[in-house]
A and B are shown apart, each in its own frame.
Chain A
Amino acid sequence: MTFLRNTFKFFLAGIFILFGLIVSNSAKAQDGKALFNANCASCHKMDAKLTGPALLGVEDRWKGNRKNLHEWILNSGNYLKKGDPYATNLFNEYGKLQMTAFAGTLDEKQVDAILDYIKKWAPPTAVTTTNSAAAEGEGKDNSLLFGIITLILAVVAFTLMQVNSSLKKLTDDKDGIAAAEPVPFWRNKTYIAFVIIVLFLVGGYYTTKGAIGLGRQKDYQPEQPIYYSHKVHAGVNQINCQYCHIGVYQGKQATIPSVNVCMNCHLAINEYKGEPIHSDDGKEINGTAEIQKLYKKAHYTPGQPWDAAKAEPIEWVRIHNLPDHVYFNHSQHVVAGKVECQTCHGEVTAMGEVKQFADLSMGWCINCHRTTQVNFKGNGFYSIYEKYHEDLKNGKIDSTKGITVEKIGGTECQKCHY
């Protein structure tokens, strides 16, 4: 019996250790990806040159010498002084542009995590769009079909009514009853009343709908001064949203990047060599020419040093407009609420020029607040809701539904209007 119990204990311990290993391993790899996206992705791609070289196979190129790589990554300036010919060549090849020193930001373990991630990386398989296509097929509009049927039925009904009245007239003639003066249908009061009511209903419906939709701009996709493709930047090159929209974790505005942020990368990238870009109406976009537009605003001539002080701001057309009486805070949703950008902005990584994804109506906000759960147990702020915690424990609140934003007052007026 004791033996059995001991075996069981060992067995359990084994499972735990194994589980722990898996978890920690995956955490490490996960870490590498996040670290790569946050620190490297703005200048490096896996399989193509960006500001810096493609990183796939970097360890092979460095002959597996992680020690040198560490030094190089953490402070390339110092490493260059050592006179490693490979490093010197690399430096010259990339326009003598020194890589940001990461000493202080990253430690060696984190660099290792990134290198591991690079080692394991495989090109992403193409995103299948069949799902959405299928969904479109399913929800296909049948109104045309119904419309035609309705029309046919109406014509049939109208003909039958005419036939009926003709027949009635015939029998009346036969019976010798004097027929009333025939009234043409456009002067028939019943018809007129019917048409007016129908017009009123239809007109009313569209007026109301139009009025509700005033100022709403779902699918708004204005032409921007520069054809900036999110697909190229955030999709293909996987630049983290936050790299450009720096305010998104900090304040109410996500902020549109200033010219110097664009120039961080575009000092080195002065031509577009990727897949051909097509705008939504099928026109081919010359990526290099668009970069030139940026240079014009930045007052930069490739090959010459850039004076940031001369740059002019770019007048982008604002897509997401909230009325003045609405307070919206990005950091509230992204940091406290941990909402993904895509939830409200759609698949931006697949958009050329950005298009408004949601209608940004109050109903749309409220619906989300009604169904979205807050991080009730994870966020220390909610520890003050003692009663809710109690109710969750003893099952008075359905734990699958959890604590929604609405439950903590997220649909009250003065959460957004003040």
Chain B
Amino acid sequence: MSDKKYWQSFGELNNSEAYQQTAKDEFNEMLPFEDNSKGLLDAKTPRRDFLKYLGFSTAAATLAASCETPVTKSIPFANKPEDIVPGIANYYATTYVQDGDAVSILAKVRDGRPIKIEGNELSILTKGGTTARAQASILDLYNTARLRFPTIAGKEVTFEAFDKAVGDAVGTAPVVILTSSIVSPSTKEVINQFIAKHPGSKHVVYDGVSYSGILQANAATYGKQVIPSYRFDKAKVIVSLGADFLGTWISPAEFAKQYAEGKKINEKKPEMSKHIHFESVASMTGSNADERVLHKPSQLGSIAAALLSAVNGGSVNFSDAEIKKGIEKTAKTLIAHKGEALVVCGSNDTNIQIIVNAINEAVGANGKTIDWSSLYTNYQGVDADFVKLLDELNAGSVSNLFIYGANPAHTWVATDKFKAALAKVKTVVSFSSVNDETTQLCKYVIPSHHYLESWGDAEIKTANFSFMQPTINPLFKTRQWQDSLLKWSGATTDYAAFLKNYWSTKLGGDTNWEKALQDGVVNAPATETLGTASFNSNAVANASSTAASTKGKGKFELSLYQKISVGATNGASNPWLQELPDPVTRATWDNYIIVSPKLAKDLLKIDLSNNGQADAYEVNPPKKVVKLTAGGKSISLPALIIPGTEENTVGIALGYGRTDKLGKATVDAGKDAFIFTSLKDNNVSWFTDDVQLELTNDTYKIALTQTHNIYDTKQGKRTEVMKELTLDEFKENPNEIIEDREKELAPYGGLEKFEKEGTIYPYYDKPGIKWGMSIDLNTCTGCSACVIACHAENNVPVVGKPEVLRFHDMHWLRIDRYYSGDMNNPNVVFQPMMCQHCDNAPCENVCPVAATNHSSEGLNQMTYNRCIGTRYCANNCPYKVRRFNWADYTGADSFPDNQREVLNDVVMNMNDDLTRMVLNPDVTVRSRGVIEKCSFCVQRLQEGKLKAKKESRPLKSGENNEWDVKTACQQACPTNAIVFGNVNDAHSAISITRQDNKLRTFYSLEQLHVLPNVNYLAKVRHIDEEHEGAKKEEKEHA
């Protein structure tokens, strides 16, 4: 392992005083202690008052005690449904479908209400993996801002009145149905039936995040306007030109699973895929890359063209030396791995995508890493279609418009034009279940169900079907939009019957349909050979020359991106997603302008190598606001300095600045950046050149969690916290990690004797089960699905932006981001960090009331009802994973004063009776003044053990892939980076993982002898240059 330094914050990199201080402090804020120098009587609460209060509270307690215990009622069902046993969860297979995301899931339903999303392990696409957004979608079901009844011109009406009004207004006249991409084959059938009854109607697809560049490029070069399957698992070399395929691009959960296949390491034969990433603004996928090349957004075309010519054997002409080197190296690697290489591109420019297709042809991806027989259906929208529709609307030739899933009033490049055009349509019906920007402009609003209340199906990829079934009765007076369409086309059946009929016919009988519905998926037959398509290179030359000649205007450029949490379209109203720290920026609740460290020096006058300036920037929440102007529009947003961003490029996340009517979480959260999108060749472009940046005198507070929970050792390089090495180093010396550990533990007895000799404490037996967890840093992508899963499973409260600003964030599981190397383009490691359940836990022996102690199964137990809130444990925790309830975030107390004036509307809204339906009834809702932390999902452990006990058999934890127990984070993880189970069982998955990965296993801060039950597997980076460089240096030194 190289002796480089890993760092989280600039202060840490410089080892500034402020950093040293925060690392030392127990809590990062001043505690409200009174100054008592004036003597006891003059203090705010003098002795007499104290006695008065004491007397009063004793009297009050006595009074309260003499009151009778309240009578509680126990009300059973009138008629108990057969499949519900109170207290036992049912799991229904369904599908999360929203704005292009489609993930097969199971909904955990307790006593009639869905409370948790789990991945469906029967799906061959995601194999049980989920995304943060799929996990968080359950909270949207209980969003208090959902539309609750049909309205005409804002007035509530009945369904009958609505049907009549729409029937009168529309009749059999032609209707334009505007939707986001429809993945449901039966819905397409419903639309066709409607169109048949309304001759002249048409269906227009519009996606908020457009992939029309790829669609049109494929039409031009392969003759098919489709998106093929990308097979990252088959690729040894992955080159991404700005495609955030692990976070937001096309099908991230599936890609993450495939990507992890290539990143898993067999210790006996260490091989792994290589990922080279070209990007402008640091993204999560770029942070995972083995090598990253930074460029301006406008250079992407010429880079693609240069890469094409290079893989075809031509020379690379590029003015920027770094980029030139990157392209040459990429081309060399690609050529060396013909037939097992894959190039993907996130651009929405048809020409660039045509070039990428040509590169893929040149490296033999067609049929090897790209499967043309399996096509995505989740992005079908072509921007030109919508442009055409806009013209029609403007011309007044459309008199009826139905809108479902599309929200052009927020996402279109020119919302004013759309609004004006919409005003010319006679009848506009919105089926949206929330009052979004477009729905607000519609006279007729008939809200559709949330997907968890809906019937449905999805063809996620060709012949890979996934089904939806209702998991709860509709909460409000809503009607599924397919039902409305069927009704309005004169059908007598409802959509549920239609769906059943449709699939019974297709699958051959009701029994097959029921089986499919129960499984949730019908997978495409497995085949080893991938489909190919014939390539037509006619368009390539023209595209190449056009792309290569594109030059950006002005010094600065803007790149618009999506966050993995909020996304571009619908995440902003979800408090869990808003409070989820972005894996790259570690910021919550807002969007901001991302600037590079170099630009920070010029523009913000912050020199990060200057301790004072770096600290001032980092320690104080108020960030300098920058005014950005482009194309006549401007926006003022705070600036965050993020390494890994191209020098003169700035980035802004889409999806913020939403209407207040979507929910409390959207109020004052960020600003809308869709105003900077533009049409280029009839495709929406996410880049803008010729950008002016101007520093204002304003500041704006950003709730960054970057500097929260700092922990380190005296060594100060964090290599005792997390470990990383390169593939070459690993091949050369497989024992490097072990030797490193040996060195760390040498003063305490060395690896072998460390456990017994490194302590004065006795050793305790774990006679039955001993729980343990292993986290592979190599396959962890930082996607944060686990963080949201933990939120949902464990009733972790939302604290709101003001509380995050005060370091009061409550996540039990956080994903630490470490930088190393070059400040301008650093390497990144993501390390999920939660309670390590130390067998020799320092928190346990400082608790004055034994509220935290150790179980015989190796759990570090936290007993809320025993905790008195001294917070000694949090102070003594070396990993800083304990969280304190500074206020009554969940409404668990009986004293409303514990919430008043402290918590903002969002948090109070989380205490609404409707929102509280999402709480897991098996987990205590914590009150103010107690510590909480990761419990290894003890409620799941107990449930799994009980299942085994009742069946009189040993616990199954992963042997033959049979599981009684999975933690929420493990279940949610799309890459299986987290393995959990019984360490005492030699056949359990955790034991096998530790056995098979002995050479990479390490424990964070192992030398402290806290004996964590969580181990990590070291990150291996497939990089070679640096190693060669280091060797050279060594030689020179020698």
Binding site for B on A (CB under 8 A): 207, 210-211, 214-215, 217, 222, 246-247, 250-253, 255-261, 308-309, 311-318, 321, 323-325, 327, 329, 331-332, 335-336, 378-385, 387-388, 408-409, 412-415, 417-418
Contacts and interface: CB of A to CB of B under 8 A. Distances in A.
18 contacts: A246-B80, A251-B86, A252-B88, A253-B86, A255-B87, A257-B80, A313-B78, A316-B73, A324-B924, A325-B864, A380-B953, A380-B954, A381-B949, A381-B954, A388-B767, A409-B855, A413-B863, A414-B855
Given A217-B69, A316-B75, 8 more contacts: A260-B79, A313-B77, A323-B865, A381-B945, A381-B953, A385-B767, A413-B866, A414-B862
B950 A331 contact: yes
Contacts of A409: 768, 855-857
B134 interface: no
Contact of A325 (B768, B924, B938, B942): B924
A311 B88 contact: no
A383 B78 contact: no
Contact of A222 (B71, B857, B925): B71
A144 to B, nearest CB: 26
Interface in B848-877: 853, 855-857, 859, 861-866
A314 B715 CA distance: 67
Interface in B49-93: 62, 65, 69, 71-80, 85-88
Nearest first, the 3 closest Cβ-Cβ pairs linking A and B are: A318-B74, A251-B87, A258-B77
Interface string B761-788: 0000101110000000000000000000
B899 interface: no
B856 A250 contact: no
B946 A415 contact: no
Contacts of A253: 86-87
Given A255-B86, A380-B953, A314 B946 contact: no
A251 B853 CA distance: 28
Nearest to A335: B950
Contacts of A384: 768-769, 954-955, 982, 984-985
Interface in B912-930: 922-925
A324 B923 CA distance: 9
A211 B73 contact: no
B855 A412 contact: yes
B87 A413 contact: no
Contacts of A215: 69
A418 to B, nearest CB: 5
B161 interface: no
Nearest to A298: B78
A260 B76 CA distance: 11
Given A413-B853, A413-B861, A417-B865, A251 B80 contact: no
A321 to B, nearest CB: 6
Contacts of A335: 949-950
A315 B75 contact: yes
A247 B924 contact: no
Contacts of B925: 324
Interface string B969-1009: 00000000000001011000000000000000000000000
Nearest to B851: A413
A246 B86 CA distance: 10
B986 to A, nearest CB: 11
| B767, B855, B954, B955 — most chain A CB neighbours (10 Å) | B767
B719 interface: no
Contacts of B527: none
B86 A312 contact: no
Contacts of A256: 74, 76
Contacts of B984: 384
B950 A336 contact: yes
A314 B73 CA distance: 10
A181 to B, nearest CB: 36
Interface size band for B: 35 or more
Contacts of B985: 384
A255 B653 CA distance: 50
B241 to A, nearest CB: 48
B79 A250 contact: no
Nearest to B927: A325
B544 interface: no
A408 B79 CA distance: 40
B955 A415 contact: no
Interface string B945-963: 1101111111100000000
Nearest to B768: A385
A414 B938 contact: yes
A412 B768 contact: no
Interface in B894-949: 922-925, 935, 938-939, 942, 945-946, 948-949
A324 B984 CA distance: 33
Contact of A418 (B62, B76, B923, B951): B923
Contacts of A255: 76, 85-87
A357 B635 CA distance: 69
Contacts of B71: 222, 317-318
A414 B935 contact: yes
Given A325-B865, A380-B952, A418-B938, A261 B80 contact: yes
A137 to B, nearest CB: 33
Given A413-B861, A418-B938, A258 B69 contact: no
Contacts of B767: 385, 387-388, 408
A246 B87 CA distance: 12
B935 A250 contact: no
Contacts of B765: 387
B864 A417 contact: yes
A308 B85 contact: no
Contacts of A210: 65
Nearest to A246: B85
A417 B74 contact: no
A61 B72 CA distance: 50
Nearest to B855: A412
Contacts of B953: 380-381
Contact of B955 (A261, A327, A381, A414): A381
A143 to B, nearest CB: 24
A323 B88 CA distance: 19
A253 B925 CA distance: 19
Contact of B88 (A211, A250, A417): A250
B277 to A, nearest CB: 42
Contacts of B922: 327, 418
A317 B949 contact: no
A94 to B, nearest CB: 24
A412 B771 CA distance: 15
B78 A311 contact: yes
| A260, A323, A379, A384 — most chain B CB neighbours (10 Å) | A384
B853 A247 contact: no
Interface in B7-51: none
A160 to B, nearest CB: 39
Given A255-B85, A388-B767, A412-B861, A311 B79 contact: yes
Contacts of A246: 80, 85
Contact of B75 (A313, A321, A329, A388): A313
B78 A418 contact: no
Nearest to B939: A418
Given A258-B77, A258-B78, A331 B946 contact: yes
Given A380-B953, A381-B955, A383-B954, A414 B863 contact: yes
Nearest to B111: A253
Nearest to B864: A325
Contacts of B73: 315-318
Interface in B802-856: 853, 855-856
| A211, A246, A335, A418 — most chain B CB neighbours (10 Å) | A418
Contacts of A415: 855, 942
Contacts of B86: 247, 251, 253, 255
B863 A417 contact: yes
A246 B866 CA distance: 34
A357 B863 CA distance: 27
A321 B85 contact: no
